[in-house]
Amino acid sequence: MAELHDGWKRQFDVYDRVAKMELDLGEKGNTISDPQGRRICSLTFTPAGLVFTSGTGGGKGPVTNDDGDVEEGYQAGRDAGGNHVRALHWGLDPFGTLNDIWYCVKCIGMVNSAGGGAFSKSPRVVDGYTEVFHDVFGGPMSQFAEDGQDQSLSGWHTRSAVAGYDLPGNCKIEPEMIVQIDPDLALRIIRERGPHI
């Protein structure tokens, strides 16, 4: 059985943070639906325990270098992060919970903006998304961190924040996240429900 290094084990319940953030996890039917007839799935589970989230849009319209517009993009990123936390919560159900996510691996954040180097603030927009995962799972950008130190680093991840895209539905940001769970849990989910939801 695979095991997580002690230094990466969280010393808190993820759901306590979700409650403090007032992040509504909603209902399963409104977050994850039956994949029949859909073009793409919300989550893909791999035998290695990697879980891939599908891109989810946040906000409307392209982001410019205007500070107010960048802040709207940041908030759209936070909204998208909340959507992915909800998807992971319900996607793990009934086999596991958000506490079964060992750590975050990789974020790709695509920002709707002018190309050709005209927009330079994509990292700030994607920070909104990144910070949700730091808040929920632990990380130096977390609202619960003190002087950049949190009780866990399992929300910390590698990241690409790229701009110059026309995004589906004209959303401001479309991020994706990859997280790691116990491979044994992933195999159980795949065997009993299938790899996609």
Tell me, which fold does domain 6-24+42-192 have in CATH?
60s Ribosomal Protein L30; Chain: A; (3.30.1330)
List, in sequence order, every residue forming a beta bridge with 107; answer none if it has no partner: 159, 177
Q: How many CB atoms lie within 10 A of CB 13?
A: 12
pLDDT at 59 over 80: yes
Structural domain spans, the chain: 6-24+42-192
CA 59 to chain centre: 16
Would you say 40 and 55 are in contact if contact means Cβ atoms under 8 Å apart? no
Residue 75: predicted pLDDT? 98
Beta-carbon-side half-sphere exposure of residue 60 (alpha carbons within 13 Å):
0
pLDDT at 83 over 80: yes
Provide the edge-to-edge strand list for the sheet that holds 101-112.
43-45, 50-53, 173-181, 101-112, 158-165
Residue with tokens 């130096």: 140
Tens digit of each residue's pLDDT (9 = 90 or more) over 16-37? 999 999 999 998 877 776 666 6
- In this prediction, residue 193 has a pLDDT band, given cuts at 50, 70 and 90, of very high
Residue 90: predicted pLDDT? 95
End-to-end CA distance of the chain: 25
Would you say 62 and 114 are in contact if contact means Cβ atoms under 8 Å apart? yes
What's the farthest any 2 CA atoms get from each other in the chain? 50
Tens digit of each residue's pLDDT (9 = 90 or more) over 63-73? 999 999 999 99
Tens digit of each residue's pLDDT (9 = 90 or more) over 151-180? 999 999 999 999 988 898 999 999 999 999
Would you say 102 and 181 are in contact if contact means Cβ atoms under 8 Å apart? yes
Residues whose CB is less than 8 angstroms from the CB of residue 105 and which lie 6 or more positions away in sequence, other chains included: 50, 157, 158, 177, 178, 179, 180
